[in-house]
Amino acid sequence: MSALFAPTVPRLAALPPSRRALEIPTSPDRPVLTARVARLRGAGSMVRGRISRLSVRDVRFPTSLGGHGSDAMHTDPDYSAAYVVIETDAEDGIKGCGITFTLGKGTEVVVCAVNALAHHVLNKDLKDIVGDFRGFYRQLTSDGQLRWIGPEKGVVHLATAAVLNAVWDLWAKQEGKPVWKLLVDMDPRMLVSCIDFRYITDVLTEEDALEILQKGQVAKKEREKQMLAQGYPAYTTSCAWLGYSDDTLKQLCAQALKDGWTRFKVKVGADLQDDVRRCQIIRDMIGPEKTLMMDANQRWDVPEAVEWMSKLAKFKPLWIEEPTSPDDILGHAAISKALVPLGIGIATGEQCHNRVIFKQLLQAKALQFLQIDSCRLGSVNENLSVLLMAKKFEIPVCPHAGGVGLCELVQHLIIFDYISVSASLKNRMCEYVDHLHEHFKYPVMIQRASYMPPKDPGYSTEMKEESVKKHQYPDGEVWKKLLAAQEN
Ligand SMILES: C[C@H](O)[C@@H](O)CC(=O)C(=O)O
Ligand SMILES: [Mg+2]
């Protein structure tokens, strides 16, 4: 299921009036835009080329066969991605690669949505995009027709993330830097110009953001050195997927302890007796001092969450993640109020639609740990706004990762967060899951249970072409075999 777009987007005059509106620059302030492009040039920026081609493919890995990734709600996930590649006419061979994460079925729907957004990207100069990134973000998310099937949520927002992730990868590759370093080196004003503040100015204005980023410049060099030497602390979820047998759980946990892991997450929420047994196994193995987190993946109602977690409190979890619907902000607040006195925090975010939901979770004191996701929010742009809001509310960010490629991407955001925004590691760690890294050209590097900052230019999003071909759905070699076996 591949779709290729040649650079054949009609010129403005040829468009019907409804489409023409889309082409009008969204930035209200042309001189500001010109100044930003000039600032890019002044900073010795290497940005070049017009986007001449966009392709998107449906890539799926049959992880459900081994129970990998399973939880109380998603019992048989096939970790998958809509994989976007953009090319320019710069003739330098550099491509931007972007993904968004899916669980198998439905990836084809995200592919459709990427195709529907493609005309916003094609024929654009990269320097105009990044010179007015806020305007470009707004253009993608405010398409007068597509917005109706969002807005800024669901399939269309996942597609936005995939496209923008590809743009960030392209930009960073052209600058010869990994995304985290591109962000760390970026002038605070330029960073702020990437963020759409619409709907969040009641808690974070452009001036607030600038102030936070300017404070973050202090001792930035030391923190960068520290990251390069020690990496960013991580925790593992790979031992305790819900579909794993007790034996597998024990074996993986023993190995993880040997590998130096000190923080573990266990899936819960389907059956209380099972949860008690599995939590007992893992707590016995890791001992009382190491950190344990629990994840219910939205399985419970609000009172049920409180009651269930009261029974698991004896295993001393640091947090319960996604106890109820990700949309239920006041429900999270009620659960938080009941569980914090038991020493259990609330973590959520992997399925938070957008910055507005995060804003309200923060306003309602509904979470103690905020979990950004590199592929659900609108790429780096929207994640920047959430990192800054978290800083303002002094809530630690512990990103969601795992899936396919999520570790590769989110490491850039959290390393930037430490160096330039939070300046703290207190109560902070980034999720790690040990699956599918071999399919990436620049896989994550974990040392001493920490993410080591990537050094290759880009967003670590590029997949190996051979892996993509093999796992393309439904006509890649892997799926042809699996689908034929299912028929027999
Ligand atoms: C379906 C995914 O594997 C999900 O269980 C991941 C998740 O909740 C997490 O890593 O946290
Ligand atoms: Mg989770």
Q: What is the pLDDT of residue 4?
A: 32
Query: At which residue do the structure tokens 């892991």 appear?
Result: 261
Whether 435 is catalytic is no
- Of 40-49, 56-65, 75-84, 346-355, the range with the lowest mean pLDDT is 40-49
State residue 340 phi and psi, 5-degree precision.
Answer: -55, -40
As to burial, measured by CB atoms within 10 angstroms (0-12 exposed, 13-18 middle, 19+ buried), residue 48 is: middle
Per residue in 342-395, pLDDT (tens digit) is 999 999 999 999 999 999 999 999 999 999 999 999 999 999 999 999 999 999
The answer, yes or no, to whether residue 14 has pLDDT greater than 80, is no
State residue 68 phi and psi, 5-degree precision.
Answer: -70, 140
Q: How far is the centre of ligand 2, averaged over its atoms, from the C-alpha of 303 (Å)? A: 20
Q: What is the pLDDT of residue 38?
A: 62
Q: How far is residue 214 from each of residues 187, 190, 206, 404, 465, measured CA to CA in Å?
A: 9, 12, 12, 34, 41
Pocket test for ligand 1, best of 60, 105, 295, 373 (most atoms within 8 A of CB): 295
- Residue with the smallest CA separation from ligand 1 atom 9 is 400
Q: How far apart are CA 469 and CA 478, in angstroms?
A: 9
Q: What is the pLDDT of residue 45?
A: 81
Whether 267 is catalytic is yes
Quote ipTM for the complex.
0.99
Per residue in 118-147, pLDDT (tens digit) is 999 999 999 999 999 999 999 999 999 999
Tokens of 297: 């993946």
Q: How far apart are CA 465 and CA 432, in angstroms?
A: 24
Residues 415-424 have a mean pLDDT of 98
The answer, yes or no, to whether residue 35 has pLDDT greater than 80, is no
Query: At which residue do the structure tokens 């925004």 appear?
Result: 421
Residues 184-191 have a mean pLDDT of 98
Q: How far is residue 149 from each of residues 16, 50, 325, measured CA to CA in Å?
A: 21, 29, 20
Q: How far is the centre of ligand 1, averaged over its atoms, from the C-alpha of 71 (Å)? A: 7
Atom of ligand 1 at shortest range from CA of 265: 11
The answer, yes or no, to whether residue 66 has pLDDT greater than 90, is yes
Average per-residue pLDDT for the chain: 93
Q: What is the pLDDT of residue 383?
A: 98
The answer, yes or no, to whether residue 6 has pLDDT greater than 60, is no
Residues 269-292 have a mean pLDDT of 98
Atom of ligand 1 at shortest range from CA of 241: 5
Nearest partner of 296 among 247, 332, 329, judged by Cα = 332
Give the ligand at the shortest distance from the Cα of 69. Answer: 1
**Residue 400 CB–ligand 1 contact under 6 Å:** yes
**Residue 71 CB–ligand 1 contact under 6 Å:** yes
Q: What is the pLDDT of residue 415?
A: 99
Q: In this structure, are residues 402 and 393 in contact, taking their beta carbons and an 8 Å threshold?
A: no
